[in-house]
Structure 1
Amino acid sequence: MEQPLVPLVPMSHTAHIRSHRKPRRNAPSIAVRAGVAGGVLSTAAVAGASAQAFAAEPVTQTLELPTLTADLATQAAQSADATQQMAAGYQLQAEREAAAEEAAKQAEKDLAKAKKEEARKKAAAEAERKAAAERASRDSERTTLTSTDTTTAPASGSVGTVISFLKAQLGDAYVLGAAGPDAWDCSSLVQAAFKQVGVDLPRVSQDQSMVGTEVSLSNLQVGDILYWGSKGSAYHVGVYIGNGQYLDAANPSKGVVIQDLSGYPATGAVRVL
């Protein structure tokens, strides 16, 4: 079979030059390029869609923010409540501790007061016991003097009257400045005794030591006035009742008593009867 003739296409006058020949593009290259172009377009489309999606997202986030903020506010409120409750608990505990401490202090004060009151009662009871014993002793002393008195004072006369008055005051109290009838000091008792027989003595012991006639302690007679301290500045006086004894308003603890000169020797003596 004869082959058909193919018409000849005239070549460019520069075709024989290699650098002037147009490169041929084959179908696969065009297809690749087309695919690349399509991919680029697809990527652009996706990017555009993504951009639109991203552009829409702030709306969604803006809608969710109030919910998130509300959660945080709730948590903050709960935390504040818990803190407040904790603070209230601490305050209550502090108040309880303060109350307990105050109660303990008050208990200590009450205990100290009770102890002090108990001690006062004991002291008062002891003082009453001693006073009762002293009263009993005085009563006994009075009974003894009444029944067994061996004083050499005369049964009658001025000296006897003085001694009788003095013994009638045994057991009376000693009170500085008092002048009877139930309380005396040393000089008021002596003054009152001698007043019974019409002898007016000075009120104070210093002046009483200056009256009458001075006598020695070795030549005492019943009714002589004894004094302690210097003559003219004596601080105590009593009356000699015989047998080495004298009667005086001694002091607040003894009152009016009879005592022995040996236990408390006098400084001097004067005689007014």
Structure 2
Amino acid sequence: MSHTAHIPSHRKPRRSASKLALRAGVAGGVLSTLAVAGASGPATAAEPVTETIELPTLTTGLSAQIAQSADVTKQAADQYELQAEQDAAATKAAKQAKKDLAEAKRKAEAKKKAEAEAERKAAEERASRSSARTVLAASSDVAAPASGSVASVIGFLKAQVGDAYVMGGTGPNSWDCSGLVQAAFKQAGVSLPRTSQAQSTAGTPVSLSSVQVGDILYWGGAGSAYHVGVYIGNGQYLDAANPSKGVVIQDLSGYPASGAVRVL
């Protein structure tokens, strides 16, 4: 036995190759893990692994928010566009209303001017008619009747020359034949029937050869006459002839009467 045999050896026991390989592999894995953790930064290394699992949820929520924001933006744009269209329509309507109002005012002014012009012409016509009547009365070639009553009848009739003929008219500016005769004799205090048929039998019948100023002339049969007038002398009579002529003086030769009656 060696003199050193009783002294324990300071050498460590030799480890087996398999154990050394195992430990080396574990150490390498640990070092690799540490290297990866170190590359991701201290903050990431400190975070729990569970947060990494929640990342897909955060991404989905963010997408929803973006989509919602896009919808809101589109709705706002649509609203602005609608408001712009409404404003444009309102502006157009206001312009049209202003144009229509101006046109209505123009038409009203034109109508007012036309009415004023028509009234002016009517006044001139009335003045002209009145002047013509005055001249006609002053220059009449009818012999002065013996009776003042006949004169009033003839004067009234001549004052109506130029008036209109209207069926059923009794004055003061439009007449039919019997209405004019009735009104004329009323000036002399004589009340005559209203119709030409009745007037043709009023008073005393006279022949056309002996007719005098103021006699009533009629056309048609006595009692069934369809027209009447008043003889004013010189082969003329005055009557409300028809709508185209109105109240006029005419010659008996152009339209001979059927008969005559005398009431004055």
* Pair 1:259-2:249 in alignment: yes
| Residue of structure 2 aligned with 1:114, choices 76, 89, 105 | 105
* Pair 1:147-2:122 in alignment: no
* Pair 1:60-2:52 in alignment: yes
The answer to whether the 8 A contact 2:217-2:261 is kept is no
The code of the aligned residue for 2:51 comes to V
The code of the aligned residue for 2:175 comes to D
- Tell me how many residue pairs correspond in the alignment: 233
- Structure 1 Cα separation of the partners of residues 52 and 188 of structure 2: 134
User: How many angstroms does 1:190 deviate by?
Assistant: 0.8
* Pair 1:271-2:263 in alignment: no
- Tell me which residue corresponds to 2:232: 241
Question: Which is greater in Rg?
Answer: 1
TM-score scaled to structure 2, two decimals? 0.61
RMSD: 4.7
| Residue of structure 2 aligned with 1:69, choices 46, 61, 64 | 61
The code of the aligned residue for 2:180 comes to L
The code of the aligned residue for 1:79 comes to A
Q: Residues 105 and 76 of structure 1: is their aligned pair in 2 closer, same or farther, counting only changes over 3 Å?
A: same
TM-score scaled to structure 1, two decimals? 0.60
- Structure 2 Cα separation of the partners of residues 155 and 81 of structure 1: 110
Q: Residues 224 and 61 of structure 1: is their aligned pair in 2 closer, same or farther, counting only changes over 3 Å?
A: farther
- Structure 1 Cα separation of the partners of residues 102 and 54 of structure 2: 73
* Pair 1:207-2:215 in alignment: no
Q: SS in structure 2 opposite 1:203?
A: coil
Equivalence map 1:1-273=2 (5 Å): 57=49, 59-62=51-54, 65-66=57-58, 69-70=61-62, 72-73=64-65, 75-107=66-98, 109-156=100-147, 158-168=149-159, 179=170, 182-183=172-173, 185-186=175-176, 187-197=178-188, 199-211=190-202, 213=205, 221-227=212-218, 232=224, 234=226, 236-243=227-234, 245-249=236-240, 257-261=247-251, 266=255, 268-273=257-262
Q: SS in structure 2 opposite 1:160?
A: helix
The answer to whether the 8 A contact 1:226-1:239 is kept is yes
Q: 5+ residue gaps in structure 1?
A: 1-30
- Tell me which residue corresponds to 2:42: none
- Structure 1 Cα separation of the partners of residues 113 and 218 of structure 2: 39
User: How many angstroms does 1:88 deviate by?
Assistant: 1.9
Q: Alpha-carbon deviations, 1:164-199, whole Å to 9, x = none?
A: 33335567787765656x456232331132345565
The answer to whether the 8 A contact 2:206-2:261 is kept is no
Percent of aligned pairs sharing the same letter? 45
Q: SS in structure 2 opposite 1:91?
A: helix
User: How many angstroms does 1:144 deviate by?
Assistant: 0.8
Q: 5+ residue gaps in structure 2?
A: 1-16, 37-44
- Structure 1 Cα separation of the partners of residues 59 and 27 of structure 2: 37
